[in-house]
């Protein structure tokens, strides 16, 4: 009965959010080393700069809705819920995710790639 009451309250007030067990982009790293740093954070956004030398990636993590900008492109192997693919990301490329997403990436190219991630709060 208690679980039913909890579900009712959650649906009624839209306040139920289960905490993911995956790290966010700042918490996730590669082989114990951080790949992202905070450039700016306030009540509305957090801006991360993430740097991936060749052979370095980002262990499986979860993104809240965010905007991304590629400062320096590269070649990545990306594994997500749809499978694994290798993509070339060009310098200046942008993307916008309006939903929560999860993935793992690895720089399989021969140059260092750098991204800005702007997370909405």
CATH of the domain at 110: 2.60.120.10
> What is the per-residue pLDDT for 116?
98
SS (H, E, C) 45-59: EEEEEEEECCCCEEE
Q: Decide if 31 is inside a domain.
A: yes
> What is the per-residue pLDDT for 20?
66
Domain containing residue 38: 20-120
Give average pLDDT by consecutive 10-residue segment, the chain, 121 residues: 43 49 94 96 97 97 96 97 97 96 97 97 88
Residue 11 tokens read as 């649906």
Q: Would the pTM count as exceeding 0.85?
A: no
Indicate the number of domains in the chain.
Answer: 1
Q: Please spell the DSSP secondary structure of 49-111, one letter per residue.
A: EEEE-TT-EEEEEEE-SEEEEEEE-EEEEEEETTEEEEEEE-TT-EEEE-S-EEEEEEE-SSS
Q: What is the CA 13 to chain-centroid distance, rounded?
A: 28
Q: Decide if 9 is inside a domain.
A: no
Q: Decide if 88 is inside a domain.
A: yes
Q: Decide if 36 is inside a domain.
A: yes
> What is the per-residue pLDDT for 19?
57
Residue with tokens 């289960």: 18
């Amino acid at each position: 009965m208690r679980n039913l009451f909890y579900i009712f309250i959650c649906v009624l007030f839209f306040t139920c959010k289960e905490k993911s067990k995956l790290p966010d982009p700042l918490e996730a790293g590669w082989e114990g080393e951080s790949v992202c740093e905070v450039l700016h954070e306030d009540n509305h956004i957090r801006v991360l700069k993430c740097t991936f030398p060749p052979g370095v990636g980002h262990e499986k993590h979860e993104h809240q809705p965010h905007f991304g900008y590629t400062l320096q492109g590269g070649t990545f192997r990306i594994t997500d819920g749809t499978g694994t693919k290798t993509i070339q990301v060009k310098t200046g490329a942008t993307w916008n995710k309006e939903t929560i997403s999860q993935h793992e990436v690895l720089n399989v190219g021969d140059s260092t790639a750098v991204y800005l991630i702007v997370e909405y709060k």
